[in-house]
C-alpha cells in the first residue's frame, strides 16, 4: 500500500525533528507531511532546516512543498503565495501551470517522491513536506489540513496520523497495514499503546454516553468504581479486536474512510477528537480495529503540555470539547447541559483532591 503520514507541530520542533529522524528511512512510508500549526516560536524554520540538512550534501532544499516558492525569494512558501494572492501553496503552483507541487517540481527536473519512493539519497528525502497553517485551530483542523494535502498531492492508499511524541517500529506499521488491507469495513486501525508517562491511558475504549461524559472529570469516583467506557483486559485476547475508539496518537486509515466521515470535526480545539471521529465513522458504517500483536510507545502529553501548560486550561478545553460532543452527537437538552457544567465544576475540585491523594 502506498502510505502517507501526517504529523503536527506546535512550538515543539525538537520532538518533531527527533520523530522524523526515527522514521525517515522507513520504506513503508512513501510521503510525510509536517503541518506546523502556526507556531509562535521558530519551530517552522528549525524543522525546515532539519529537512534540508537531511539530504546528502547538495546544500539545496529537498522539501517539495516549499521548493518552488523558495526559489522565487520568499521567506516561506506561505508568505510568497500570500503576497502573490494565492490562498495556498497548492493553488499557487496550479496557477503557474502544474497540477500539484510535485508536478511543478517534476517539470523543473527534480523528480517526484512517487517515482522511486524507496530510493536512498536525495530523492529518498524529497518525500518529506512541510506546510504551515494560517492559524492554530487545534488538533482536528491541523490534521485535516495534512490529510487533504496528502490526498491531493500524493494519492496514498493509506494515511497514518501520528503524534510526534511516539515511537513505532516499521514492522509494527507493516503489521497494521497488512490487517487494514484485509478489512474492507475498517475505519481506523491502531495497535497496543505503551504509555511511558506517569498518566495511565487506555489503548481503546467504548464510545461514551451522556452518563460517561458527566463523570469524565470525577477521577475519585472512577478510581473507586471503575470506568464504564473501558474494555475488560480479557477482551483483548485475540490477535485483533473490534473497538469503538482508538487513541489519537497513532492510527491508520484509508482515504475513503476519511471522506465518508467528513474528516475531523473542527469545532474542537483539543480532546474528544477520537470520540467524535469514531462516532462519525460508526454512523457511516465503518468499524475501528485494534491489533494486539504489536505496539507503539507514547510519551503521553509531551507535546500537549508544552503548548498548553496550565492544567486548569487543559481541563477547560476538554470540557468545551465534551460539551460540543454532547450537543452535536448525543443531542442533549438544556437541563443536561446545565448538569454537564455543574459536574465539570465539581470535577475540577475533584481533580485537585485526586492528585493530592493518588499522586
DSSP for 52-99, written as a single string: HHTSSS--S---HHHHHHHHTT-SSHHHHHHHTT-SSHHHHHHHTT-S
pLDDT given at position 217: 83
Q: pLDDT digit string (tens) for 141-196?
A: 999 999 999 999 999 999 999 999 999 999 999 999 999 999 999 999 999 999 99
- Write the DSSP symbol of residue 197: S
pLDDT given at position 116: 34
Domains of the chain by range and CATH? 3-38+133-358 (3.90.550.10)
Residue 116 burial (C-beta neighbours within 10 Å; 0-12, 13-18, 19+):
middle
Residues of the chain whose pLDDT is less than 50?
Answer: 56-125
Q: What residues pair up with 289 in beta bridges, in sequence order?
A: 189, 242
Cell 522507513 belongs to residue: 26
Q: What is the DSSP string of 237-284?
A: GSSEEEESEE-TTEEEE-HHHHHHTTS--TT-SSSSHHHHHHHHHHHT
- Check if the beta carbon of residue 106 is closer than 8 Å to that of residue 99: no
What HEC string does 283-346 produce? Answer: HCCCEEEEEEEEEEEECCCHHHHHHCCCHHHHHHHHHHHHHHHHHHHCCCCHHHHHHHHHHHHH
Q: Determine how many CB atoms are found less than 10 A away from the CB of residue 61.
A: 18
Cell 510507545 belongs to residue: 297
Long-range contacts of 123-126 (CB under 8 A, 24+ apart): 124/25, 125/24, 125/51, 125/54, 125/55, 125/56, 125/62, 126/62, 126/63, 126/64
DSSP H or E run through 189: strand 186-195
Cell 448525543 belongs to residue: 330
**Stated pTM of the model:** 0.80
pLDDT given at position 302: 58
Q: Determine how many CB atoms are found less than 10 A away from the CB of residue 305.
A: 15
Amino acid at each position: 500500500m502506498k502510505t502517507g503520514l501526517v504529523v503536527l507541530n506546535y512550538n515543539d520542533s525538537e520532538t518533531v525533528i527527533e520523530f522524523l529522524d526515527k522514521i525517515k528511512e522507513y520504506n513503508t512510508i512513501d510521503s510525510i507531511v509536517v503541518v506546523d500549526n502556526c507556531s509562535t516560536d521558530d519551530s517552522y524554520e528549525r524543522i525546515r532546516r532539519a529537512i534540508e540538512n537531511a539530504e546528502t550534501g547538495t546544500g539545496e532544499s529537498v522539501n517539495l512543498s516549499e521548493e518552488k516558492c523558495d526559489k522565487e525569494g520568499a521567506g516561506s512558501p506561505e508568505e510568497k503565495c500570500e503576497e502573490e494572492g494565492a490562498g495556498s501553496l497548492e493553488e499557487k503552483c496550479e496557477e503557474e501551470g502544474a497540477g500539484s507541487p510535485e508536478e511543478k517540481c517534476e517539470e523543473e527536473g527534480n523528480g517526484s517522491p512517487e517515482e522511486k519512493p524507496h530510493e536512498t539519497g536525495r530523492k529518498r528525502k524529497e518525500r518529506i513536506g512541510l506546510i504551515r497553517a494560517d492559524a492554530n485551530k487545534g488538533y482536528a483542523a491541523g490534521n485535516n489540513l495534512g490529510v487533504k494535502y496528502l490526498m491531493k498531492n500524493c494519492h496514498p492508499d493509506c494515511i497514518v496520523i501520528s503524534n510526534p511524541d511516539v515511537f513505532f517500529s516499521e514492522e509494527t506499521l507493516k503489521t497494521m497495514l497488512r490487517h487494514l488491507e484485509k478489512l474492507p469495513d475498517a475505519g481506523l486501525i491502531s495497535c497496543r499503546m505503551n504509555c511511558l508517562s506517569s498518566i495511565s491511558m487506555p489503548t481503546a475504549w467504548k464510545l461514551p454516553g451522556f452518563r460517561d461524559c458527566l463523570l469524565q472529570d470525577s477521577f475519585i469516583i472512577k478510581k473507586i468504581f471503575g470506568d464504564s467506557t473501558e474494555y475488560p483486559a480479557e477482551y483483548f485476547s485475540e490477535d485483533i479486536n473490534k473497538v469503538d475508539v482508538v487513541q489519537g496518537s497513532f492510527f491508520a486509515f484509508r482515504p475513503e474512510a476519511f471522506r465518508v466521515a467528513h474528516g475531523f470535526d473542527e469545532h474542537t480545539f483539543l480532546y474528544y477528537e477520537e470520540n467524535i471521529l469514531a462516532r462519525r465513522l460508526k454512523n457511516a458504517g465503518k468499524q475501528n480495529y485494534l491489533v494486539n500483536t504489536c505496539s507503539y510507545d507514547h510519551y503521553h502529553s509531551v507535546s500537549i503540555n508544552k503548548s498548553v501548560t496550565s492544567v486548569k486550561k487543559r481541563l477547560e478545553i476538554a470540557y468545551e470539547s465534551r460539551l460540543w460532543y454532547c450537543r452535536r452527537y448525543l443531542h442533549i437538552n438544556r437541563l443536561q447541559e446545565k448538569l454537564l457544567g455543574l459536574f465539570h465544576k465539581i470535577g475540577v475540585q475533584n481533580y485537585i483532591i485526586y492528585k493530592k491523594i493518588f499522586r
